[in-house]
Amino acid sequence: MNADTVVIHDLSVIHGEAATLVRSHMTEHGPEAAADLVRRAIPVGLVALSLGTAGIDTGSLTRTLDAFAERVDEKSGAALASLDQTLTLLRGGEEAVARTAGAVLDKLPAQVEAALAGQAGSVRASVMEAARAVQDAGVQEITAALARHSESVRDALSLDREGPVRMLRKDLLDELGGARRELGEQLVALKSLVEAAQVAKNAGAKSSRAIGAANEDDAMALCQEVVTAAGDIFERTGSQPGTGGTTRRSGDGVATLSQAITGHGRQVRIVVEAKSRTRPLTAKQHRDEIANGCRVRDAAGGLVLVPTDAEVPGGGSFARVDTCAYVVSTERAESVELIYLLLREHVAMLKVRQDDGSEIDLAQVETRLSIALSGISQLDEVGRLANQAKTSLEKLIVLGRDTQQKVRDTLTEGIALMHP
């Protein structure tokens, strides 16, 4: 791992649904597309796990932090104002103590004089002088002590002088500012990751839509070749509303059968859908899709084209999901051609006979169709066996070449040993 790249070696992820999605993507679009899908999914998953949601309002978080800083500043200012009031009260108490001490000392000469009443004047004068000296010294000492105490308390609590309270407030505000800046930077980085993941997600969605559109174009081009070769008319209708005034656009294409098979004046249609899904549709879902397309396009039958055999119900090259409804893989163009020719004959027979009022032996029709479908399945099996035989022959040729080379090398070494 470096600044902006994560390299993962020998990583195994046990997750059934994820494995199915990657396998299906690889089958549809190849190993490079599957690797790109995993490459785009990892950052999105990591961001989703770390954030829990892609919607982060960095402005709201910043406003919250700013309000918190303002509240801290306001509360600290209020606390300091209260401390100043306490200092004022302390200063008043100190002055009261000084006044009380002065009053006590003021009474000392009178008390001493009363105690020495009747003594010689010189003695009283000496004692009075000594008491005054003691009084003055005591007042000065008390006043100086209280002043020093008040100054030390003021230094400890004031914001104007260096002290623990000022340092505490400064450290608190510095830490809060640093945390806010760091958190802001992290939020910006996370927001960039989320935006990048969203861009990758949108690009992946656009890529999937582009792949789906390309599959539809390929399927419709193949269908047009098959329909035209049969003498019918093909029209792409995916962007056109349906018949009868509906605004629905079901049905990517419509094949109108030739009047040579339907008779003059009859419009018999077959609706064609191109489907490419990561998770293949079931037979019932295909049947419902074809029935809906037949209603919208006024068609008597329907054909769904899928890009791989894996998306065909049952896993073959085609599947019949209703009386006149088939799903066929476009991996082999001949399968599409055979199923279309079979479907057009079936639809034409049922439609023309119904319009003429003729009775139709559905049992015989189903029997013949079953025989025809069985024959097509056998042809499909022949194709698979031919592919297997081709693979085996290729392996046999490679093995023969390797054996021939080994024999040649051995003979060369033997000849070299005979002629040193």
pLDDT per residue over 83-101, tens digit each?
677 667 667 666 766 676 6
pLDDT by residue (tens digit) across 223-256? 999 999 999 999 999 888 888 778 888 889 999 9
pLDDT confidence of residue 234? 95
Indicate the domain borders of the chain: 1-38, 90-161, 216-401
**The two structure tokens encoding residue 395:** 């392996």
pLDDT of 305 > 90? The answer is: yes
Rounded Cα–Cα distance for residues 270 and 290 (Å) = 10
Separation between Cα atoms, residue 20 and residue 386, nearest integer Å: 29
The answer to whether the pTM exceeds 0.85 is no
